[in-house]
Structure 1
């Protein structure tokens, strides 16, 4: 998995004024967002969720090699599976979700899984966030402008 500018900006822009105790990174990929948040705040628990097996393994390896490995944990599961099983609530949820909705796909199924909405539709993302986020928690997401109106309407 390549690290994109959008993800790095999200990791830098996400507000931490509320000093979150627990963080969830949905669609963690390499774990860059979790690692950035571990560096930027003192959250005791930073969980990451990744469905792709190769990305999950890379994320776990990156967590283990970091100085914050004792606060970082990655789950290998789908978002809906995770939301149904976990009882915890998070103070901060962050996601750089797959947001392409165009009809074309590449020949690389792992890349398509990471980039196209059908792998994690906005409806599923928002439903899971509504279950997993503390009542006064923060959800931080980055999307292209072309998808923002649809996302805001669904969130409302």
Structure 2
């Protein structure tokens, strides 16, 4: 017998949380993956890295909502926060290019492609660097947004 409404999950998916908490979870996942690689458990390492990469891609989508769109519109909400429109003027072409390049890089995980094309793998060091770059970018954008408060 069901104990909660249809479609309601116990733990919200990573894309519905704040970017900072998503990043913390991905850092934890990366530590776990690195430990598995160090122990020679490469199959579990690959699985952990795939999951962390997918979570990173979903976090980038959340980042678009929270930072690039300033929370004006978000998934899973009918509300349009017009008071947040002031944040849109902070976004530069460099910001858009930065996020777009990462979205492109990590999009292969969420979109089907021909088997013959293969699926490129993101390795621990590469994802860690991208995660730190995003973390730094979010901090910088957060400071910019705070100047408009």
More strand by share: 1
Question: Shorter-normalised TM-score: what interval?
Answer: under 0.3
Question: Who wins on radius of gyration, i.e. which is larger?
Answer: 2
TM-score scaled by structure 2?
0.24
TM-score scaled by structure 1?
0.24
